[in-house]
């Protein structure tokens, strides 16, 4: 069994944890440079304002003054995300963080409905974030169960052993990993629902789609397949982690491992022409039965996919992950706040040092090409800095209440 | 073959006899933060709790995972603002679920009690488990 836990309206929920004034109001969080709505409260959604609506358009609305907007506070979201993951690690057998607000878990063998409710209640109480929880045989089915669970008052849904009824009413393009384009191609061949995709033979799918679609169909049948290897689709999360062959005990070796994973992830982002707002860096130590984690959130000064910028930011906090006399077994990075490179540039037209970033792009194209041809890591960054020439615009930023001492919440 | 090299430490010779006594230094987090995932730090504004030794500018350690009991110092949201007060339940009730009147009481006679009307829910944020009071106010972290 696989569970998917994700935060409801995650960014807005985080803002509400530190600011009770936002409760019950139509609130939206804006993307970097206050571009467009990326997270909406239920009150905001019920006004019919879609995800991705540009902020400047909303200024025209007669009810604009009743709407509440926040700039992306990735320091806060990253911190609360880490809290949720650490609770999941305490409660589940295995946890795979998928993005800043969702994680797949392997639940223990207990009654799942009760377990899900308990998990949800604990996350809500400890962090203040309401979650949706879905359980099913595979990740793809767990995604569907999670969507159903989120709409239920108890927030939890366990996929029945025979999910035919649910899959028959689910449009095929809403299946995780299918998307609009593949959905259209399937529809042209008469496949309109998730159940139909599940029930057609693989050979037929192969004639329309890629091997990825075959895997998705397999997952719909309840057979686990690797689903996170879709090189064509833009990832909604980029992460890299590995268990060490030999336990790591020095700060240098720990830093090296984290830097190597971050470089790989940066390469993946550049391949997809995506940039990230920041990342969570973590390391695991202890024994298999009693494992413990240390984690830190890094927010880049501006969204980036440049290895040296990422390494500069990460290097500063690796020291904080290190505990002397501890044997590290695993480390990793999870990038968040992903957006298209071009979109990010468009929004910061005036701040962009186009010359240096153009050069950087060329440089990394060369570096990535060399690494592809001669093996990964042949060309790497010496971790030397370039000057920060521009900063993100975040005019409606709330307090970074969990990562900066001088921005704590105030109580009277 | 693509391969990620992870450098591990190689121990040569005899292990240091001191190694088995090696302990990490004392860590205030360990002392003050029992549930890191549920703990928030907040800054006190004003003098409403000076009777409990909580002063303007102090930093409070707040644990959300703990249930509030009668007499606890708690953080709650009242009219859209966070407030720190002593939780006072009606006689005999130790926990909120036991019903009865809920009051948020200041530790300074200048302030009135905040009495929740019947049916009004306490917007509980967390329990204050420690207060960090620094003597030289000039220095902010």
Q: Write the burial class of residue A237 (CB in 10 Å: 0-12 exposed, 13-18 middle, 19+ buried).
A: middle
Closest Cβ opposite residue B8 in set A248, A264, A402: A248
H or E segment to which residue A135 belongs: strand A131-136
Distance from CA of B136 to the nearest CA of A (A): 16
Residue A130's pLDDT band (boundaries 50, 70, 90)?
A: very high
Same fold, A165-220 and A238-385: no
Residue of A nearest to B5 (CA): A257
Contact A14, A76 (CB under 8 A): yes
pLDDT at A70 over 70: yes
- Strand ranges of the sheet holding A156-158, from the earlier edge strand across to the other edge: A94-99, A102-106, A2-7, A131-136, A156-158
H or E segment to which residue B104 belongs: strand B102-105
Q: What is the pLDDT, as a whole number, of residue B139?
A: 52
Pick the residue of A250, A411, A412 with the most B CBs within 10 A to test the interface with B by mutation. A411
- Asked if the Cβ–Cβ distance from B8 to A247 is below 8 Å, we say yes
pLDDT at A229 over 50: no
Looking at the complex, does the CB of residue B26 fall below 8 Å from at least one CB of chain A?
no
Distance from CA of B3 to the nearest CA of A (A): 8
- Interatomic CA distance for residues B19 and B5, integer angstroms: 27
Question: Which is more confidently placed, A353 or B122?
Answer: B122
Q: Could you tell me the fold of the domain covering B26-132?
A: Umud Fragment, subunit A (2.10.109)
Cα angle vertex B51, ends B50, B55, to 5°?
15
Kindly list the residues from chain B whose CB atom is less than 8 angstroms away from the CB atom of residue A82.
37
One CATH from 2.40.10.120, 3.40.50.1370, 3.30.1490.100, 3.20.20.70 for A238-385 = 3.30.1490.100
Question: Which is more confidently placed, A386 or A33?
Answer: A33
* B22 SS3 class: coil
CA atoms within 13 A on the CB side of B91: 0
- Mean pLDDT of the A113-125 span: 97
User: Could you tell me the residue ranges of all domains in chain A?
Assistant: 165-220, 238-385
Strand residue runs (E) in A234-350: 238-248, 274-286, 291-304, 328-336, 339-340
H or E segment to which residue A345 belongs: helix A341-347
- Asked if the Cβ–Cβ distance from A411 to B7 is below 8 Å, we say no
Find residues 121-140 of chain B whose CB sits inside 8 Å of chain A: 123, 125, 140
Q: What is the pLDDT, as a whole number, of residue A345?
A: 47
One CATH from 3.40.50.12780, 3.40.50.300, 3.40.710.10, 1.10.150.20 for A165-220 = 1.10.150.20
Q: What is the pLDDT, as a whole number, of residue A244?
A: 82
User: Could you tell me the residue ranges of all domains in chain B?
Assistant: 26-132
- Asked if the Cβ–Cβ distance from A127 to B38 is below 8 Å, we say yes
ipTM for the complex?
A: 0.82
Quick one: what percent of chain A has pLDDT higher than 70?
84
Which residues of A fall below an 8 Å CB-CB distance to B? Answer: 20-21, 23, 82-84, 86-87, 125-128, 242, 244-250, 252-253, 256-257, 260-261, 264, 323-326, 375-377, 401-402, 405-406, 408-412
H or E segment to which residue A120 belongs: helix A112-127
Single out the residue of A7, A174, A172, A177 nearest to residue A77, CA to CA: A7
Q: What is the pLDDT, as a whole number, of residue A379?
A: 53
Q: Tens digits of per-residue pLDDT, B58-100? A: 999 999 999 999 999 999 999 889 999 999 988 777 777 766 7
- Asked if the Cβ–Cβ distance from A20 to B23 is below 8 Å, we say no
Contact A355, A363 (CB under 8 A): no
């Amino acid at each position: 069994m696989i569970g998917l836990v994700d935060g409801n309206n995650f960014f807005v929920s985080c803002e509400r944890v530190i600011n009770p004034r936002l409760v019950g109001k139509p609130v939206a969080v804006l993307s970097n440079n206050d571009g467009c709505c990326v997270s909406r409260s239920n009150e905001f959604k019920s006004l019919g304002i879609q995800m991705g609506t540009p902020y400047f358009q909303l200024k025209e609305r007669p009810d604009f003054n009743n709407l509440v907007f926040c700039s992306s506070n990735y320091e806060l979201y990253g911190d609360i995300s880490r809290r949720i993951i650490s609770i999941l690690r305490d409660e589940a057998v295995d946890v795979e963080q998928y993005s800043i607000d969702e994680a797949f878990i392997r639940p223990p063998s207990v009654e799942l409905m009760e377990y899900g409710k308990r998990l949800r209640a604990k996350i809500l109480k400890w962090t203040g974030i309401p979650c949706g929880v879905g359980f099913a045989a595979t990740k793809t089915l767990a995604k569907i169960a999670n969507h159903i669970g989120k709409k239920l008052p108890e927030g939890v849904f366990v996929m029945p052993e025979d999910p035919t009824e649910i899959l028959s009413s689910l449009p095929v393009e809403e299946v995780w990993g299918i998307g609009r384009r593949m959905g259209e191609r399937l529809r042209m061949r008469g496949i309109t629902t998730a159940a139909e995709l599940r029930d057609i033979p693989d050979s037929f799918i192969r004639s329309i789609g890629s091997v990825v679609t075959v895997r998705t169909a397999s997952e719909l049948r309840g057979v686990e397949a690797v689903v996170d290897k879709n090189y064509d689709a833009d990832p909604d999360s980029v992460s890299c982690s590995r268990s060490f062959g030999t336990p790591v005990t020095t700060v240098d070796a720990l830093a090296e491992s984290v830097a190597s994973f971050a470089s790989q992830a940066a390469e993946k982002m550049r391949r997809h022409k995506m940039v990230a707002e920041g990342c969570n860096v973590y390391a695991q130590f202890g024994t298999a039965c009693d494992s413990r984690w240390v984690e830190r959130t890094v927010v880049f000064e501006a969204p980036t996919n440049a290895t040296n910028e990422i390494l500069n930011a990460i290097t500063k906090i690796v020291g904080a992950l290190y505990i002397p006399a501890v044997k590290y077994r695993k480390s990793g990075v999870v990038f968040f706040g992903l957006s298209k490179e071009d979109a990010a540039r468009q929004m910061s037209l005036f701040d962009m040092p186009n010359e240096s970033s153009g050069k950087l792009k060329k440089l990394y194209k060369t570096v990535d090409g060399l690494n592809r041809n001669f093996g990964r890591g042949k060309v790497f960054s010496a971790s030397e800095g370039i000057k920060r020439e521009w900063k993100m615009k975040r005019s409606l930023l709330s307090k970074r209440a969990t990562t900066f001492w001088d921005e704590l919440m105030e109580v009277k | 073959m693509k391969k990620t090299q992870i450098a591990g430490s190689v121990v040569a010779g005899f292990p240091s006899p001191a190694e088995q006594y090696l302990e990490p230094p004392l860590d205030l987090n360990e002392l003050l933060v029992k549930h890191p995932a549920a703990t928030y730090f907040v800054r006190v504004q004003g003098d409403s709790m000076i009777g409990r030794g909580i002063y303007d500018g102090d930093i409070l350690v707040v644990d959300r995972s703990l249930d509030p009991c009668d007499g606890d110092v708690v953080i709650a949201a009242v009219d859209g603002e966070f407030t720190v007060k002593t939780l006072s339940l009606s006689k005999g009730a130790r926990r909120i679920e036991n019903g009865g009147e809920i009051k948020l009481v200041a530790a300074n006679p200048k302030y009135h009690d905040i009495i929740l009307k019947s049916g009004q829910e306490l917007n509980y944020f967390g329990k204050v488990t420690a207060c960090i009071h620094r003597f030289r106010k000039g220095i902010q972290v």
